[in-house]
Structure 1
Amino acid sequence: MKKAEVVFIPLPAMGHVIAAVEMAKLIVERGDRVSTSVLIMHPALDPSTTKYTESLSASTLPNGMRVVDLPSFDQTAVSNTGGDWMASLSEAQKPYVKEFVSRIKTQSELSPDSPRLAGFVFDTFVLGMEDLAEEFGVPWYVFSASGAAFIGSILHLQALHDEQKVDLFEFENSDAELEIPSLVNRFPAKLLPSTVLNRQAFPAFLDAARRLRKTRGIVINTFKEFESHAVESLSNGEIPPVYPVGPIVRRQGNDYDFGSDRINDYKDIMQWLDDQPPSSVLFICFGSWGSFSADQVKEIACALEQCGHRFLWCLRKPSSSKAKIESPSDYVNFQEILPLGFLDRTVETGKVIGWAPQVEILAHKAVGGFVSHCGWNSILESILFGVPIAAWPLYAEQQLNAFQMVIELGLAVEIKIDHRKDAFLDGSTEVIVSSDDIKERVKFVMEQDSEIRNKVKEMSQLSRKALMENGSSCSALHLLIEDMMKNIASS
C-alpha cells in the first residue's frame, strides 16, 4: 500500500503549535500509512512558542514525523495587529511552503516508496493558504485548536453578517443575546470573541469562516461526550464533515519543560507539590499571555491570603510596550508587585512562581482547583486530569469558552465571565475584580465533594475513554486517516 504525507501548518502561537504537533503525532502513531510534516512559520507570536519549537528535535518525534522551521521574517516586515498579522505572515511564507511541498512531490515521483502528498491541514487562522492545496491538486483540512462550539459560533456569525446583513460591531458592550446553534443557551453578545469586535481583525475572521465551508473536513480538538450538543449541531450535513479527535494535550515530560534553563525550577515546583496533601492546592495560571496590573495583583493576593487555601500562583509581568503587542515576561523579584509581607505571611501555604509546567502541575495529585483564563488547551487539560476550574477569561474566544464551561456544561464556577483584558481589542481596559469576589469563588471551587467536582471527575473518565481503542475520538481519528488515504487512491 502506498504511503501518504500530510502537511500541517499551524498558527505560530503556543496553543496552536502544541495542539498541531500532538495531532500530527497521533496520526503517525496510528500506523505506518501516513507520515506528517509540521511547518513552523516565523516570527512566532511570542518567545515561548519559539523555545517550544526549538525543543522539537528529531529524537523527540516518532518515526514518520518531522517539524520544519520555515525562514524567519523580520518582525517589522509583518503587521503586528490581529488579522493583518496572520494574513501578512501567511502570504509571506507561501513561497517557502510551496518549495517544501514541491520537494515532497518530486521525491514521490522519483521513488515509488516515498510518501505521496495526501493533503494539507491548515490552522483555522491560516486558511489563506488554501490556494496551495488547489495548486498541488490535493484536498485540505482545517484543524481547530478551539472547541466545536467556537467553530459553530463563527460559522453562525458569518452567516448573520453575509446573509442577514447584521452589523456585528453593534454587539460590543450590548445587552443583546444571540441564539447560536452550537450552544444550548442564549449567548450574551458582549462575550463574543475579540476578533469579531476588532475592526482590523474582523475581515480575517470573516474570511476564515467563509473558507471553513469549503474544506474537505474540520478536525476539532474536542471529544463527542464533552461537547455533544455542539458536535451534533455541526453534523447536520450543511458543512463539511467534522472529526472530534481530542482531548489532545501536550504530553508530560516534554523537553521544552525540562530544558537546562528550567530544570531547577521544575524540580522546585514539583517537590513543593509533593509535600502538599491531596487536592489541597489551588493552581492560578492565565496562560502565556495572561498578566494583570498592580491593583489586580493586590486583590488576588488579598483573596489568597484570606481564603487560607494552599496555592501555587503563576504570576507574570505585563509587557511595557504600548507600540506593539508583546507577551508577558517573568518578574525578577516578586516583592516589587506583591503586597508588603505577603510572601512571608504565606510561606507555609503558598508558592509564587513565574514559568509553570502546567500539564505536570494539573496532573499532580496535590492540585484540587484551577483559576484559569479558559484557553481551550487549559480547559482540556483540566478535564483530562479532573481538576475543576474557576473561570476568569481575558481575551480571544475565552469568554465563550468560560460561558460554555459554567453555563452550558456546569463544569466550572465563575469568577467573572464577562471580564476582558485584551491587547488585541482596541480600547480594552482592565476591570478590577475584588478580593471578596475572588475569595468566594475560590472557596467554592475547592469544595471537596461539590457537584461540579464530581461532574469534572466523570468527564475526566469519559475523556480518557474517548481516546482508547473504539472510543469516540479514536474512531473519529480512524475515519480521518481513511479519508486521507482515499486521496492517494484517487490520485
Structure 2
Amino acid sequence: MAEKRRVPWVPFWTASSCSLSSQVYTDQIVRAIESTETAKQEKALSFIPGLEMATTADLLPEIFLGNNASPLVITINKMVEHLPKSTAVVLNSFKEIDPIITKDLKSKFPNFLNVGPSILLPATMTTKQDASHGWEDHAMKSLPNGFIDRTNSFGRMVAWAPQQQILAHESVGVFINHCGWNLILESITSCVPLICRPFL
C-alpha cells in the first residue's frame, strides 16, 4: 500500500537477525536442496554469511515446501521480497550478537537498523497487563487434573510472574527456555545463562 501511495514505510522485524537472514536466503536454500527429504540431511548453509555452521536440518521443513507452503510461510516470503523497497528495515536486536549477519543484512538493506533490545524501553501498560492478555486462565484450564498439587514440591505454578524481575534476582543461576527471541533478549540483558530447549 505504501509503495502505491509513494510514501515511506519502515518494517519492524521482531525476531532475530538469523531469522531474517534465513528468510532473505530462502530462494538460495531451496535451490541448494532438492526436496523436503534432502532437507532432513545435514547440508551446510555455507553460502549464508554468519550461518555457515547451520545446516538445512536446522531449519523448519516448511521452508522447503514450495507451492505447498502454509499461508504464514507464503506471507513471510512476500514480506521479505518487499523489504529492499522499504525506507529502512528495523530489527529488535543489537549488532554485537550477530556482527557477520548484521554486516550482510546492511549490504542488502542500506538503512538496516538494530534498535533493540526493545525490552529495555519503558512499558506503556502495566507489566501484568502486557504479559497476560487474558491467556493464563485458558492455560490453567488445560492442565491435567491434580497437576498443580502433584508438582508443588518441584516448583511453583502461578498465573503470572514478573519475568524480568525474576531474571534480575541474584538467586537465578540459569534460565531454561524455548528459544523465543524475546526470552533470549531478556536473559542477555539480565546476564543470565541460557539452557535452550527449542519447541518445548
- Asked if structure 2 preserves the Cα contact closer than 8 Å seen for 1:152 and 1:180, the reply is no
Give the equivalent residue in structure 1 for 2:54. Answer: 187
Aligned to 1:157: 26
After superposition, residues 151-300 of structure 1 pair within 5 angstroms as: 151-161=20-30, 164=31, 167=34, 169-193=36-60, 195-197=62-64, 199-201=69-71, 202-236=73-107, 238-249=108-119, 255-258=125-128
In 2, Cα distance between the equivalents of 1:385 and 1:176?
A: 35
User: 1:143 corresponds to which residue?
Assistant: 12
SS in 1 for 2:157: strand
User: Is the CA contact (8 Å cut-off) linking 1:331 and 1:354 kept in structure 2?
Assistant: no
Alpha-carbon distance in 1 for matches of 2:15, 2:35: 21
Quick one: which amino acid aligns to residue 373 of structure 1?
A: H
Change (3 A) 1:182 1:219: farther
Count of residue pairs brought into register by the alignment? 192
Give unmatched runs, 5+ long, in structure 1: 1-131, 263-287, 289-315, 318-327, 395-420, 422-491
- Report the identity percentage: 24
Shift of 1:177: 2.7
Query: Contact 2:39 / 2:61 at 8 angstroms: preserved in 1?
Result: no
After TM superposition, the structure 1 = structure 2 runs for residues 88-99 of structure 1, keeping only pairs within 5 Å, are: none
Q: Which runs of 5+ in 2 are unaligned?
A: none
User: Bigger radius of gyration, 1 or 2?
Assistant: 1
Give the Cα separation in 1 of the matches to 2:124 and 2:51. 37
1:320-469 aligned within 5 A:
329-331=139-141, 336-337=146-147, 341-343=150-152, 345-346=153-154, 350-394=155-199
Summarize the Cα distance change of 1:330–1:228 in structure 2 as closer, same or farther, 3 Å threshold.
same
Structure 1's consecutive aligned runs of 4 or more residues displaced over 6 angstroms after TM superposition are none
Higher share of residues assigned helix: 2
Structure 1 residues 111-137: Cα deviation after superposition (integer angstroms, max 9, x where no partner): xxxxxxxxxxxxxxxxxxxxx212332
Name the CA shift for 1:359/1:334 in 2 (closer, same or farther; >3 Å): farther
Q: By percentage of residues, which structure has more strand?
A: 1
CA contact 2:176–2:195 (8 Å) conserved in 1: yes
Question: Within 1, Cα distance between the matches of 2:102 and 2:151?
Answer: 46
Distance of 2:98 and 2:124 partners within structure 1: 28
Higher relative contact order (CA 8 A, sep 6+): 2
Q: How does 1:49-88 map to 2 (within 5 A)?
A: none
The 8 Å contact of residues 371 and 389 in structure 1, kept in 2 or not, is answered as: yes
